[in-house]
């Protein structure tokens, strides 16, 4: 059987640095493909339709929900976000590892469906640093920043449900940890297969 590809789900409070870490991982590892979500929020900064997100209207999102097009979706910071079934199926069919950058509600829905999915939670080093990162990013209004910080308190409570937790203090260190998690899951599969093949051979089966 060909390598089936792993699903890696990365969640974090807004501003903890998950997009930056996932972007850096994608540049380093061509075996990993991003899942591009649908959202009803407006594009931010240089974001492009089909690259960061598929930006859709509320009625378009409703249609997709009614048509059972999402593998998971959730309300996050007052907007709706979802991962389409098509996105996951297409990427897995190519044998790629697929990385989903979604909130904790979506992460837990994915784990219920794909029990082998790996859930990674990214923590900021402190509340002050989380606030400064959102402010320094300069892409959200002060009201949006306050909403995201207020939601972060509840989101952090979910970290214990995840398989791995990474503290994103030094960026390079956090990236190293994320790379190690992705590589170890791939290695596990490869070495288990090799071990199985060797054992089968030794047993003459």
Ligand X SMILES: Nc1nc2c(ncn2[C@@H]2O[C@H](COP(=O)(O)O)[C@@H](O)[C@H]2O)c(=O)[nH]1
Binding residues for ATP: 12-19
Terminal CA-CA length for the chain? 17
- Residue 10, interface with ligand ATP (CB under 6 A)? no
Which of 6, 8, 11, 18 lies at the binding interface for ligand ATP (CB under 6 A)?
18
- Residue 71, interface with ligand ATP (CB under 6 A)? no
Shortest Cβ 77–ligand ATP spacing (Å): 8
The contact set with ligand X (CB under 6 A) reads 14, 37, 41, 72-74, 76-77, 81-83, 101-103, 105-106
Shortest Cβ 147–ligand ATP spacing (Å): 11
Q: What's the gap between Cα 58 and its chain centre? A: 23
* Alpha carbon separation from 88 to 11, 35, 71, 110, 203 (Å, rounded): 17, 7, 8, 11, 38
Phi–psi pair at 30, nearest 5 degrees: -75, -5
Binding-site members are 12-19
Instruction: Tell me the per-residue interface mask from 153 to 172 with ligand ATP, x by CB under 6 A, - otherwise.
Output: ---------------x--x-
């Amino acid at each position: 059987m060909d390598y089936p590809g792993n699903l890696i789900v990365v969640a974090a409070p807004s501003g903890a640095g998950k997009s930056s870490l996932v972007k850096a991982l994608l540049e380093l590892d061509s075996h990993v493909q991003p899942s591009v979500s649908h959202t009803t929020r407006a594009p931010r900064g240089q974001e492009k339709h089909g690259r960061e997100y598929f930006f859709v209207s509320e009625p378009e999102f409703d249609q997709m929900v009614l048509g059972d097009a999402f593998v998971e979706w959730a309300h996050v910071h007052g907007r709706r976000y979802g991962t389409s079934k098509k996105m996951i199926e297409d990427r897995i069919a190519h044998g790629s590892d697929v990385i989903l950058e979604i909130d904790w509600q979506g992460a837990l829905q994915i784990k219920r469906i794909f029990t082998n999915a790996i859930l990674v939670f990214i923590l900021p080093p402190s509340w002050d640093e989380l606030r400064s990162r959102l402010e320094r990013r300069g892409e959200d209004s002060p009201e949006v920043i306050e909403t995201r910080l207020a939601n972060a308190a509840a989101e952090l409570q979910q970290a214990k449900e995840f398989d791995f937790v990474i503290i994103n203090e030094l960026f390079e260190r956090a990236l190293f940890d994320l790379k190690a998690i992705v590589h170890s899951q791939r290695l596990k599969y490869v070495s288990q297969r090799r071990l199985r093949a060797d054992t089968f051979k030794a047993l003459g089966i």
